[in-house]
Chains A and B, each alone.
Chain A
Amino acid sequence: MARKFLSGNEAFAEGIRLARPQVISAYPITPQTIVVERLSEMVEDNSLKAEFIHVESEHSALSCAMGASAVGARAFTATSSQGLLYMAECLTYASGGRFPIVMMNANRSTALPWNIYGDQRDSISLLDSGWIQAYAENAQESLDLALMSYYIAEHPTVLTPFMVNLDGFVLTHTYEVADVPTALQADEFLPPFKTENKLDLKNPKNLGFSAGPETNTAFKYKEHLGLLNSKPIIKEAEEKFEKIFGRKYTGLTENYKTEDAEYIIITLGSISGLVKETVDWLRENGRKVGMLRLRYLRPFPSEEIASAAGKAKAIAVLEKDISFGNEGTVYTNVNSALYKHGLTIPSSNYIGGLGGRNISEEKIERIFDELEDRETKVTFLEIGGDR
């Protein structure tokens, strides 16, 4: 292993290099560009033996990755924001076709108004597309998810495409320390991709077919099962990962000082680092607070949320997303999980970081303060401008 100073994009590219995809098809878009640039350099200098296909759009990028997967190749693509929305049609093709493609999405705001900065409205708007969705906190986890994503997606009981989300700029463009494993270690962790779900002259079959009303539900149910089946495989991947690389991950969620916490912020992505620091600081002042980080939004960690937050006096969901006319989508999902488990904890929703707006330590501290009122409300942080 080598300790390096890398941006989130660069760390992710290192992880993909180690995962040895055979086909990479991508179209550049800020703030994803660097991951694609690094991978094309790796293909050019032969440190990654893959076909790099320059496509004319994101729609083609994912279509191309599907074609590769349909002949049994390990495929990778990456995008962001409008690019992800432009390929949305292909997202359900990839999941319904059970092609275990890995995609990195650099989380970025969606137009209009035009904005290149980070929020999570792009990927969260596509939660229902049948992809596994993970959210990285830092460069190291980005690199590690690049490797683990293939292990999970390609497992025969899962066969589901995997979207790894990195917060645009604050994670993709921030440099920090990451351990880069050796190719030998990575190969020990991740076997080559083998699948029955491919075009094969020796074993002819039909892919990409129609299914009418009589059979459609069965296909969709199996797709649903594929995502649910990923839960034990995520655990299996993390156990094997820890054995080889010595880094431990905790499944669909990360509990940070939640055990005796009376007030908990539930959040996701790179803001979690600052929430943890705020928790530490408040605990030094005798406050019983904690953080629950959702590492995955699909499959959704219902049981994990209920067991970690079930004893809290109040919770807040802090997210960089709004489902217009309702509330933050993560909040909706969290409340559903709590209700299903018979928990009626006051929960409030904080919409922050839209279009890259900074979320400060003071704001997080204020959320913890407001939680003590045990209200149920939806609040936009720092609206600014004319209201």
Chain B
Amino acid sequence: MTEVLWHGRGGQGAFTAARLLGEAYALKDSNSFALAFPSFGPERRGAPIRAFTKLDNKPIGNRSETKKADFSIFLDDTLFSEEAFNELKQGGVIILNSKRPMEDKRVFVIDADSIAEEILKRPITNTVLLGAFSAVYDGISIDDVIFAIKQGMPERLHKRNIEAALAAAKTAEEAFR
């Protein structure tokens, strides 16, 4: 099982990213399964939130929050600290939205804000990071992400979010590989 931990602030779309990833993975074929859920409870714009995606080739029975993830994705670098490495499995990877580079082999930094501002015209980075993730994780392709955006987002958001995801996938491909 692959476990992905999403960190964001209320309003940044971290849970939408978690859900779209599950959708991208689970709907690609009938042998793929996923669970996606937020940290449950009252929601507030700006407050830190976590969201979870679990991916496997069989139905997933464990609905508990992930304690240690294969991938930990930060939509907001003010939420990132050394603590993040304690929530990572051995060999796990962090994807961090930030303008500042980091010298750590476990961390992939991408300036998702700039891509979002250029294409979406607003600082919402969820589909940007999902696009970047598709370049890092072999389990889904950028086509699966595009399919999930079409399935799981309102139609008026499709064009720009697909464009943003594609741009991020390209950037990530060049930077991380």
Interface residues of A (CB under 8 A from B): 3-5, 116-117, 138, 169-171, 173-177, 270-277, 356, 358-361
Contact = CB atoms under 8 A, between A and B. Distances in A.
Given A270-B63, A273-B62, 14 more contacts: A3-B30, A4-B151, A5-B23, A169-B40, A173-B40, A177-B26, A273-B61, A274-B63, A275-B61, A277-B61, A358-B64, A358-B65, A359-B64, A361-B64
B64 A272 contact: no
Contact of A273 (B23, B26, B40, B59): B59
Given A173-B38, A176-B26, A274 B19 contact: no
Given A176-B33, A177-B27, A5 B59 contact: no
B129 interface: no
B60 interface: yes
Contact of A3 (B27, B41, B62): B27
A253 B61 CA distance: 18
B80 interface: no
Nearest to B26: A177
A175 B36 contact: yes
Nearest to B61: A273
Contacts of B60: 176, 273
B35 interface: yes
Contact of B61 (A116, A117, A274): A274
A177 B36 CA distance: 10
Nearest to B53: A175
Contacts of B65: 358
A138 B23 CA distance: 16
A274 B64 contact: yes
A193 B62 CA distance: 38
Contacts of A5: 19, 22-23, 26-27, 34, 36, 151-152
Among B30, B59, B151, find the residue whose CB has the most chain A CB atoms closer than 10 A. Answer: B59
Interface of B: 19, 22-23, 26-27, 30, 33-38, 40-42, 59-65, 151-152
A173 B65 CA distance: 13
A332 to B, nearest CB: 27
16 contacts: A3-B26, A3-B30, A5-B19, A5-B151, A173-B38, A174-B63, A175-B35, A175-B36, A176-B33, A176-B60, A177-B26, A274-B61, A275-B61, A276-B61, A277-B62, A358-B65
B40 A356 contact: yes
Among B26, B38, B40, B41, find the residue whose CB has the most chain A CB atoms closer than 10 A. Answer: B40
A276 B60 CA distance: 10
A295 to B, nearest CB: 16
A4 B151 CA distance: 9
Contacts of B151: 4-5
Nearest to A275: B61
A31 to B, nearest CB: 8
A173 B37 contact: yes
A356 B37 CA distance: 15
Given A177-B27, A177-B33, A361 B40 contact: no
B39 to A, nearest CB: 10
B11 to A, nearest CB: 18
Nearest to A169: B40
